[in-house]
Amino acid sequence: MNPIRFVRSLPQPVRTVFVLVLVAILATTAEVVVRSLTDGRDGRIPFDVMSPLPAVTGGLLVVMGVLLVLDVAGSARAFADGVAQDESVPERTRAVMSRPVTARVYGAMAVVVGTGFVLAGTGLVT
């Protein structure tokens, strides 16, 4: 399935949050790469200065996970339908992944991972 078609098939507000999560993950990854390459040289921000990007990414993951767990606007069903329509997914995997319950489980995992990002991004856990 075309990834753009998959994102377009998601209901609002899940579509917006999904796109924001992808953008936040890309921005956080770019920041980590830049900080690891510069590491405070050339007058740039040193690595030990905290950035809000991991916390923002985690917060968005928590929101997306809650939307999936609660199946807001049929979001879990839309994720499951997107997997069911994808021919590149093997048949056995598609049988498990194309259920809304699986999307809800992934939503719960996104809440846990997002909470970890928020805690690490705010400095509450090192």
Segment 88-111, tens digit of pLDDT: 777 777 777 788 899 899 999 999
Q: What dihedral do alpha carbons 57, 59, 62, 63 form, nearest 10°?
A: -110
Segment 20-63, tens digit of pLDDT: 999 999 998 888 787 777 765 555 555 555 678 889 999 999 99
Full-model pTM: 0.81
pLDDT at 86: 74
Residue 81: which of 15, 18, 9, 2 has the closest Cα?
Answer: 9
Separation CA 51–CA 13 (nearest Å): 26
* pLDDT grade for 66, boundaries at 50, 70 and 90: very high
∠ CA 77-82-71, nearest 5°, is: 20
pLDDT at 63: 95
Domain ranges for the chain: 3-122
Average pLDDT, integer, range 104-126: 89
